Amino acid sequence: MLIWRQNLNVKKELKSLLQAFIAALFIISFFFQNTRIPTPSMESTILVGDFVVVNKFIYGINSPKFIPYTEIDIPHFRWDIFTDPDRGDIVVFDFPGEKSEFKPNPANIQYVKRCIGLPGDTITIRNKVVFVNGKPAPLPPYVQYGPAQNDPRIAQYMFPGLENWSPDSFGTFVVPKKGAKIKLDPRTALAWQHFINREFEKEVVKVDNGVVYIDGKAATEYTFQEDYYFMMGDNRDDSSDSRFWGPVSRKMIVGQAIFVLFSWDNTIPFSDLFKLLGSIRGERILKILD
């Protein structure tokens, strides 16, 4: 009888643990998640080692594209029933891929950046000053940048790669908006091909004998199917962002970073647990992000 009761208690405990695990996955998938910051691209707004809480519900319902902590695809849906990202929001999104990539590799990377431009906005950067629709954009409270550097060799890495742009001298660039059009010729088609391929979720752009084809049909222009957002890191000189790989589509946006749960020195290994715990930055616990 005693053994039977012990087995029953073990089953109940396992059932409770399973229910808690399923509930946690549901919350992470649809409402909130905790994201660890591995790079300095948002310093000093967000520090390396911060664990940031992300509100995934604020921009609508967006189901996960992968089984959590894996690269296994699952059926995905989104329902944009609430607000859209605004200028100045700190946004978490699925990395769309480098400008030379149709799909990111690995596929389940998420980035944290600040939204600078909305669909249809005109972005210009001159000597590190960001202009949105002709007006200087407000500087984030903890923005970091040094003197302007215009190295012509870096132009090949900029998006979309048609002009001699740099991170400090960029644009004029119009953020794609659903329904907006761009003219296509062999040069522009090659610059935008991976961007267009992402909208179709397959490779559709081809240039043959000076003629541009999209999904097998000759085309002289392209109409964007999604709204896009221009993202930049607050650490302007150490950020891979929309200047390099282009704007982010609405469907890639996961949520808004709202506060730091806690923070520590992530260069300290878990094997040195007491030193790691001693590195916790108390002043950053529950710090609201702005």
Give pLDDT, residue 8: 58
Amino acid 78: pLDDT: 65
- The predicted pLDDT at position 70 comes to 60
pLDDT tens digit sequence for 188-243: 998 899 889 999 988 999 999 999 999 999 999 999 999 999 999 999 999 999 99
pLDDT band of 266, cuts 50, 70, 90: confident
Q: Which residues contact 89 (CB under 8 A, 6 or more apart)?
A: 114, 115, 256
Radius of gyration (C-alpha) of the chain in whole angstroms: 22
Residue in this structure with the two tokens 């990202």, named with its chain if needed:
85
pLDDT at 270 over 90: no
- Average of per-residue pLDDT across 246-275: 92
Q: Are 127 and 168 within 8 A, CB to CB?
A: yes
Q: What is the pLDDT of residue 77?
A: 61
Residues 6+ apart with CB under 8 A from 21: none
pTM: 0.83
Structure tokens that stand for 218 in this block: 């000759």
Res. 169: pLDDT tops 90? yes
Domain ranges of the chain: 1-30, 32-177+228-288, 181-223
> What is the structure's pLDDT at 52?
93
Per the CATH hierarchy, to which homologous superfamily does domain 32-177+228-288 belong? Answer: Umud Fragment, subunit A (2.10.109.10)
Question: Is the Cβ–Cβ distance between 76 and 59 less than 8 Å?
Answer: no
pLDDT one-digit tens code per residue, 59-111: 877 666 666 556 566 666 666 667 899 999 999 999 998 887 877 766 678 89
Place of tokens 């000053």: 129
Percent above pLDDT 70 for the chain: 80
